[in-house]
Structure 1
Amino acid sequence: MTHEVFNQAPPRAGLNEYLINPAMVEAVERFGGSRPGLAEVGELVGTAGFQRDAELANVHPPVLASHDRWGNRVDEVEFHPAYHRVIGAAIEHGAHTACWSAPGPGAHVARAATFMLFAQIEPGHACPVSMTHAVVPSLRFTPGLAEEWLPRVYSRDYDPVLAEPKASALFGMAMTEKQGGSDVRANTTRAVPAGDGTWRLTGHKWFCSAPQSDAFLVLAQAPGGLSCFLVPRVLPDSGRNVFRIQRLKDKLGNRSNASSEIELDGTAGWLLGEEGRGVRTIIEMVAQTRLDCVLGSAAGMRQSVAEAAWHVRHRSAFGSVLIDAPAMTAVIADLQLEAEAATWLGVRLAAAYDDDGAESVAFRRLATAVGKYWVCKRGPNHAYEALECLGGNGYTESFPLARRYREQPVMAVWEGSGNVIALDVLRAMSREPDSVQAVDAEIASALGVYPEFDAHVAATRALIGSATAGSARRVVEALALALQGAVLIKEAPSVVADGFVAARLGAGRGLEYGALDPGLPLAAIAARA
Structure 2
Amino acid sequence: MTPLTPDDIRQVTNQAPPLVGHNVVTTDRPLVEAVLRHGSPEVLDDLLELGAEAGTAEAREHGMLANEHHPELAPYDRYGRRVDAVRFHPSWHWLMQRAVGHGLAARPWELQEAGAPHAHVRRAAGFMAWSHTEPGHGCPVSMTYAAVPALRADRSLAEEWTPLLASTSYDPGLRPVSDKRGALAGMGMTEKQGGSDVRANVTRAEPTSVDGEFTLYGHKWFTSAPMNDVFLVLAQAAAGVTCFVVPRVLPDGDRNRLDVVRLKDKLGNRSNASSELEFRGTWARRLGEEGRGVRTIIEMVAATRLDCVLGSTSLMRRALNEAGWHASHRSAFGSLLVDKPLMQNVLADLAVETEAATVLAMRLAAAVDRADDPHEAALRRIALPLAKFWVCKRTPAMVAEALECLGGNGYVEESGLPLLYREAPLNSVWEGSGNVNALDVLRALAREPEVLDAWITEVGLARGGDPRLDRAVDDTLALLGDSAALEGSARRLAGRMAACLQGALLVRFAPAEVADAFCASRLGTSYDGTFGALALASGDLRTIVDRAVPAL
Are the counterparts in 2 of residues 75 and 244 from structure 1 also a CA contact under 8 Å? Answer: yes
Distance 2:236 2:110 in 1: 32
What is the Cα deviation at residue 510 of structure 1?
5.0
1:64 alignment counterpart: 73
* 1:229 counterpart SS class: strand
1:204 alignment counterpart: 219
What is the Cα deviation at residue 496 of structure 1?
1.4
Aligned with 2:425 (options 406, 409, 420): 409
1:511 and 2:520 equivalent? no
Aligned with 1:288 (options 300, 303, 328): 303
**Percent identity (aligned):** 55
What is the Cα deviation at residue 106 of structure 1?
1.6
* 1:86 counterpart SS class: helix
2:209 alignment counterpart: 195
Are the counterparts in 2 of residues 199 and 269 from structure 1 also a CA contact under 8 Å? Answer: yes
Distance 1:298 1:28 in 2: 15
1:4 alignment counterpart: 11
* 1:74 counterpart SS class: strand
1:455 alignment counterpart: 471
1:123 and 2:135 equivalent? yes
1:439 alignment counterpart: 455
What is the Cα deviation at residue 168 of structure 1?
1.2
Bigger Cα displacement from structure 2, 55-64 vs 489-498: 489-498
2:175 alignment counterpart: 163
The alignment covers a number of residue pairs equal to 529
Amino acid at match of 2:543: A
What is the Cα deviation at residue 98 of structure 1?
2.7
2:52 alignment counterpart: 43
1:181 and 2:209 equivalent? no
Are the counterparts in 2 of residues 509 and 516 from structure 1 also a CA contact under 8 Å? Answer: no
1:348 alignment counterpart: 363
1:430 and 2:439 equivalent? no
Bigger Cα displacement from structure 2, 396-405 vs 514-523: 514-523
Q: How does 1:273-284 map to 2 (within 5 A)?
A: 273-284=288-299
Distance 1:92 1:465 in 2: 49
Are the counterparts in 2 of residues 121 and 303 from structure 1 also a CA contact under 8 Å? Answer: no
Are the counterparts in 1 of residues 517 and 536 from structure 2 also a CA contact under 8 Å? Answer: no
Aligned with 1:495 (options 501, 506, 513): 513
Distance 2:503 2:132 in 1: 24
Amino acid at match of 2:239: G
Aligned with 1:105 (options 117, 126, 133): 117
Distance 1:387 1:403 in 2: 10
Are the counterparts in 2 of residues 366 and 439 from structure 1 also a CA contact under 8 Å? Answer: yes
Distance 1:372 1:208 in 2: 20
Structure 1 alignment gaps of length 5 or more: none
Are the counterparts in 1 of residues 323 and 406 from structure 2 also a CA contact under 8 Å? Answer: yes
Are the counterparts in 1 of residues 225 and 274 from structure 2 also a CA contact under 8 Å? Answer: yes
Are the counterparts in 1 of residues 170 and 181 from structure 2 also a CA contact under 8 Å? Answer: no
Distance 2:302 2:64 in 1: 30
1:240 and 2:240 equivalent? no
Amino acid at match of 1:308: A
What is the Cα deviation at residue 50 of structure 1?
0.6
CA deviation profile, 1:64-123 (whole Å, cap 9, x unmatched):
011111111100100000000001100000011232121122211111001111112210
1:391 alignment counterpart: 407
Distance 2:393 2:240 in 1: 34
1:321 alignment counterpart: 336
CA deviation profile, 1:302-350 (whole Å, cap 9, x unmatched):
0000000000000000000000000000000000000000011000011
1:141 and 2:157 equivalent? no
Distance 1:155 1:99 in 2: 10
- TM score, norm. by length of structure 1: 0.99
* 1:176 counterpart SS class: coil
Amino acid at match of 1:372: K
2:94 alignment counterpart: 85
Are the counterparts in 2 of residues 510 and 516 from structure 1 also a CA contact under 8 Å? Answer: no
1:28 alignment counterpart: 35
Q: 1:282 to 1:508 in 2, by over 3 A?
A: closer
Amino acid at match of 2:175: A
Are the counterparts in 1 of residues 309 and 387 from structure 2 also a CA contact under 8 Å? Answer: yes
Q: 1:457 to 1:54 in 2, by over 3 A?
A: same
Amino acid at match of 1:175: M
Distance 1:526 1:36 in 2: 26
What is the Cα deviation at residue 508 of structure 1?
6.6
CA deviation profile, 1:383-403 (whole Å, cap 9, x unmatched):
100000000110011111110
Runs of 4+ in 1 over 6 A off after TM superposition: none
Q: 1:420 to 1:454 in 2, by over 3 A?
A: same
1:271 and 2:286 equivalent? yes
Distance 1:426 1:273 in 2: 26
What is the Cα deviation at residue 224 of structure 1?
1.3
Are the counterparts in 1 of residues 35 and 44 from structure 2 also a CA contact under 8 Å? Answer: no
Distance 1:508 1:64 in 2: 50
Distance 2:320 2:277 in 1: 38
* 2:182 counterpart SS class: coil
* 2:17 counterpart SS class: coil
Name the Cα RMSD after superposition. 1.0
1:221 alignment counterpart: 236
What is the Cα deviation at residue 464 of structure 1?
2.0
* 1:465 counterpart SS class: coil
2:492 alignment counterpart: 474
What is the Cα deviation at residue 128 of structure 1?
0.6
What is the Cα deviation at residue 465 of structure 1?
2.5
Are the counterparts in 2 of residues 502 and 508 from structure 1 also a CA contact under 8 Å? Answer: no
Amino acid at match of 1:122: E
1:527 and 2:536 equivalent? no
* 1:49 counterpart SS class: helix
2:20 alignment counterpart: 13
CA deviation profile, 1:29-60 (whole Å, cap 9, x unmatched):
10115342211111000000011000000000
2:266 alignment counterpart: 251
Are the counterparts in 1 of residues 256 and 283 from structure 2 also a CA contact under 8 Å? Answer: yes
1:372 and 2:388 equivalent? yes
What is the Cα deviation at residue 509 of structure 1?
4.3
Structure 2 alignment gaps of length 5 or more: 1-7
Are the counterparts in 1 of residues 235 and 243 from structure 2 also a CA contact under 8 Å? Answer: yes
Are the counterparts in 2 of residues 97 and 111 from structure 1 also a CA contact under 8 Å? Answer: no
Are the counterparts in 1 of residues 187 and 231 from structure 2 also a CA contact under 8 Å? Answer: yes
Are the counterparts in 1 of residues 268 and 426 from structure 2 also a CA contact under 8 Å? Answer: yes
Q: 1:519 to 1:508 in 2, by over 3 A?
A: farther
Amino acid at match of 2:22: L
Amino acid at match of 1:16: N
Distance 1:231 1:466 in 2: 45
